[in-house]
Structure 1
């Protein structure tokens, strides 16, 4: 995705905020906001933002798992399943 197609100066955003928000929600393409010719912010629709946050959370979980594997902090599947069964078993 190229952000260069959705570049707007902050003055445009100030004058056309409602239109920018409508366009964001319809097209779901980020809008790059510039100030004095320099990129200063990126506006995204809420759905895209939430999807990005979910993706980042999953990537963090994968990275943590990878670190645990590299540190040897793992157990085999049978041991893990047995531990879960013991934990979930009703007490007598």
Structure 2
């Protein structure tokens, strides 16, 4: 994703906060905020933030699974199926 068109100085944010928030919700593209010509923050709408957090959580679960597999912490499929069937019948 290119952020060149979504860069604004902090003074723009201060003067146009409501319009910036509306644009973030509408376009769902992050906005890079600069201060003294340097990138200082990224603003994004809540829905996009939540999607990002969910994606990161899934990636973390995947990485943990790979670590377990590399460490040999695996169980045979038949054993897992038997445990799940036992739980289902107990419930």
Superposition TM-score, scaled by structure 2 size: 0.94
Q: Which moved more, 1:81-90 or 1:71-80?
A: 81-90
**2:88 counterpart of 1:88:** yes
2:39 corresponds in structure 1 to 39
Provide structure 2 residue ranges, at least 5 long, that are not aligned to the other structure. Answer: none
For residues 3 and 76 of structure 1, the distance between their equivalents in structure 2, rounded to whole angstroms, comes to 47
Superposition TM-score, scaled by structure 1 size: 0.93
Provide structure 1 residue ranges, at least 5 long, that are not aligned to the other structure. Answer: none
CA RMSD of aligned residues (A): 1.2
For residues 20 and 8 of structure 1, the distance between their equivalents in structure 2, rounded to whole angstroms, comes to 10
Deviant stretches of 4+, over 3 Å = none
**2:61 counterpart of 1:68:** no
Q: Which moved more, 1:27-36 or 1:82-91?
A: 82-91
Report how many aligned residue pairs link the two structures.
Answer: 91
Counterparts of residues 12-51 of structure 1 (less than 5 Å): 12-51=12-51
